[in-house]
Amino acid sequence: MEALSQNYCNEVPSSFAFHKATRKGFFSSVANLLPKIDAEIVVLTHLLEDRPEFLETLNSIAPVSLVISIPYSTNAMVKETLKRDYSIFTPTLKQLNNPIFISDLLVKNIGKNRSVIIIEIGGYFSQALNLISRCIGSRLVGVIEDTQAGYRRYLSVQASLPCSVVSVARSSLKLGEDGLIGQSCVFSIEKILRNFGSLLNNKSLLVIGYGNIGSGVALSLNRRGCSTSVYDVDPIKMLHAAAQGYQVLAKDDALKQADIVFGCTGHLSLTANDMAELRSGAILVSCSSRDIEFDLEYLTKNYKKISYSNHLVKYENDKQIIYLVANGRPVNFIDGAVVGPALSVVQAEMILAIKTLIKLYSKGMTGIYETSISDKKKLAQIWLEAFYEINFGG
């Protein structure tokens, strides 16, 4: 597992460089919308090729005292470069999910006087906020969170939150990024299959979860001429999928015919009971933000694990063979998970969300919030001007 983590994100040429100057200028324009603040920032993030400009902008707003790197999405070269300017720590996933560890890590790496803003991906701080609050008290301004999985984690503790959380997970500005994430997931699994002399479009494919990412996966598969089925626990989303021309089935029926299952729910797509319904030889692909789409504990306990390749693991018992891609982690991180300019507007919303968070903090508010519609429109205008030279005026 560790060897796989080290190989992640280091295989792809630096294709994002041509947007670097534009992205940097865009972030700078967004930062100019913020008031002066006396705080420090702790960032928990993927360390990919697009991250240096994001961190540089945050550091221009307030000192970035600690960068916590998610282990499965850490580009070694990016990390080495950023170590010159930031204190970077790469915990294991087990440590990331330990609230005591996360709380101690933050408290030991911040100053003694400034207020603290947390910007993160995945909701890893959700269980640690009360511990942090006990240590630093009113210095905890709050959290800005990026993902659906993280949003759910904060939602589960909303009643006991000691501070405000501003989430961009359900922002209208995120629709473009999520659709491109779906495309990048399909690209990565297609590349893996081709390495084994196999193709996507001669297989029966199942997308579980028809949200923004799942619909992007389904659309990308459809454009490749693949036979694609969709399942979602929400009947309205199933209706939408059917209206788009996808086959919709009961979950058990869909699992029995699927050669490849794409987990796109942001939580648990396949439970232990679902595993028994899979056809032998099925391939499981996560398109989520963490290793949460499949019941990995059940696989480990009930199947023999056989390493198959860098990105594919075979699980086998007397009745069934199941293949797991990337140890159940997001498949698109194999190829860097960089989705172009669309991601920049989401990162920019996280930057501008600092303004919202400070306003909530000044009013003593707790709970989960979003940025305003007016801020979203302003960001969209700045982004269109930066990347497409479209000026809305005003």
Residue 192, domain member (yes or no)? yes
Instruction: Please check whether residues 222 and 295 belong to one and the same domain.
Output: yes
Per the listing, tokens 């070694």 go with 76
Examine the domain organization and report whether 227 and 102 are in the same domain: no
Q: Which of 11-25, 73-87, 177-191, 288-302 has the highest mean pLDDT?
A: 73-87
Q: Are the C-beta atoms of 11 and 34 separated by less than 8 Å? A: no
Residue 394 lies in a domain: no
- Residue 28 sits in the same domain as residue 74: yes
- What mean pLDDT comes out for the span 189-216? 91
72's tokens: 């499965």
Choice between 20 and 269, residue whose per-residue pLDDT is larger = 269
Q: How many domains does the chain have?
A: 2
226 found inside a domain? yes
Residue 282 CA to residue 324 CA, distance in Å, equals 9
The per-residue pLDDT for range 58-71, each reduced to its tens digit, is 999 999 999 999 99
Say if residue 266 is in the same domain as residue 331: yes
pLDDT digits (tens, 9 = 90+) for 234-282: 999 999 999 999 999 999 999 999 999 999 998 899 999 999 999 999 9
**pLDDT tens sequence across 219-236:** 999 999 999 999 999 999
291 and 203 within one domain: yes
> Under a CB-based contact definition with an 8 Å cutoff, are residues 300 and 280 in contact?
no
Residues 9 and 132 in one domain: yes
Q: Does residue 313 share a domain with residue 238? A: yes
Looking at the structure, tell me whether residues 264 and 252 fall in a common domain. Answer: yes
Q: Give 234's contacts (C-beta < 8 A, 6+ positions apart).
A: 210
Question: Does residue 15 sit in the same domain as residue 114?
Answer: yes
Give the helix/strand (H/E) hosting 190. Answer: helix 175-195
Q: How confident is the model over 76-100, as a mean pLDDT?
A: 95
Question: Looking at the structure, do residues 190 and 329 belong to the same domain, yes or no?
Answer: yes
Mean pLDDT value of segment 202-210: 95
* Distance (Å, whole) CA 125 – CA 102: 7
Residue 241 within a domain: yes
For the chain, give the mean pLDDT: 90
Comparing CA positions, the residue from 195, 186, 219 lying closest to residue 330 is: 186
CA–CA dist 179, 60 (Å, integer):
30
275: domain CATH number is 3.40.50.720
Q: List pLDDT tens digits, range 335-369.
A: 765 556 777 889 999 999 999 999 999 999 999 99
- In this structure, are 20 and 49 located in the same domain? yes
Beta bridge pairs of residue 369: 166
Q: Are residues 139 and 238 in the same domain?
A: no
User: Tokens in use for 198?
Assistant: 């196999």
Q: What is the pLDDT of residue 2?
A: 31
Average pLDDT over residues 80-95: 95
- Burial class of 159 by CB neighbour count within 10 A (0 to 12, 13 to 18, 19+): exposed
For residue 228, give its domain range: 177-335
- Give yes or no for a contact between 255 and 208, defined as CB atoms under 8 angstroms apart: no
Question: Is residue 310 scored above 60 in pLDDT?
Answer: yes
Q: Is residue 393 part of a domain?
A: no
- 60 within domain boundaries: yes
Q: Is residue 209 part of a domain?
A: yes
